[in-house]
Amino acid sequence: MYTVDEQVAASLRSAEPTLLHAVRGFVDAGNAGQVAAEHLTERFDTRRLVTFDVDELLDYRSRRPLMTFDAARWSDYDQPELVVDVVRDAENVPFLLLHGMEPDVRWEAWTRAMREIVERFAVPLTVGVHGIPMGVPHTRPLGVTAHGTRTELVADHLSWFGTVQVPASASALLEYRLGRWGHDAMGFAVHVPHYLAQASYPRAALVALEQVQRTTGLDLQADALEAAAVEATEQVEQQVADSPEIAAVVRALEQQHDNLARVLPRPDALVEQAGLPTAEELGAQFEEYLAQQPDEHPDE
């Protein structure tokens, strides 16, 4: 199912690296996990440690990779991958980064393979990051739901939910199985305003990496995403200012957030919708607004 570069593996002898994972394919509001992974691979030195055989794990017909047709020939293929890289942070501390496409099939076999990797390289902690859509305004600090295989791992974090059932993901199953096998694993789900869930929202990736830094001690230079986060927020503010309907929704979310934060002791109450528009309704409003805007870069 996977191959290991033994030369790269030898460089990890006695390192006991943290494993960070952000795979694409399930819920990742604001592309929080994807942007975080791209930040890490672009900013730091990386070496490929593990390569999974995607032919064993992906359903190409449900998630067709992109190909480029140029005049009379196929000129490029966006080949899917699922890999583990060795990344060295700003202090030259190595950690492992699992990124790429979420497996479509053979989840149990894949989690067993990940267990082999965790145990071979003596990983002390596995951490996942992604974004989830929530009924919160972009004008307030982004919240985070932390979860882990032991309560001690998330003792410093508020619990935003009671007991709920949600569709499974490979990442969630990985955390669950690692816990059953006696390994520490946890994750951070950043609360992204649901009207921005389909867009790339760098602020969510910034918050996710800040949480990882606090937990692991790694220096991931999360603040390097600040400029992109500010730019994205400015674009959202302009869109809100140009649409009275959306501005009214944002004000309602702000009022709900602030009122509940003042008077209710349980943080999960902040996410109750209280009759506000749904994510689909808000998304449709934004899509309608954006469709009416002129294309500023028609030649791109």
Q: Which of 93, 92, 110, 109 is nearest to 101 (CA)?
A: 110
Contact between 112 and 138 (Cβ < 8 Å): no
φ/ψ of 221, rounded to 5, equals 50, 50
Other CB atoms within a 10 A radius of the CB of residue 219 amount to 13
- How far apart CA 83 and CA 55 sit, in angstroms, is 13
Query: Residue-wise pLDDT tens for the chain (300 aa)?
Result: 999 999 999 999 989 999 999 999 888 999 999 999 999 999 999 999 999 999 999 999 999 999 999 999 999 999 999 999 999 999 999 999 999 999 999 999 999 999 999 999 999 999 999 999 988 999 999 999 999 999 999 988 877 677 888 899 999 999 999 999 999 999 999 999 988 999 999 999 999 999 999 999 999 999 999 999 999 999 999 989 998 888 998 999 998 888 877 765 544 444 444 344 444 554 454 455 445 444 544 444
Other CB atoms within a 10 A radius of the CB of residue 150 amount to 11
In this structure, whether the domain defined by 2-229 belongs to CATH 3.40.50.10900 is answered with: yes
Q: Give me the residue spans of the domains in the chain.
A: 2-229
Terminal-residue alpha carbon distance, the chain: 39
In this prediction, residue 210 carries a pLDDT of 98
Residue 217 corresponds to which tokens in the numbers above? 């001690």
Torsion, Cα 164 134 43 185, to 10 degrees, reads -10
φ/ψ of 198, rounded to 5, equals -85, -10
In this prediction, residue 282 carries a pLDDT of 45
Contact between 118 and 178 (Cβ < 8 Å): yes
In this prediction, residue 272 carries a pLDDT of 42
Burial status of residue 70 (CB atoms within 10 A of its CB: 0-12, 13-18, 19 or more): exposed
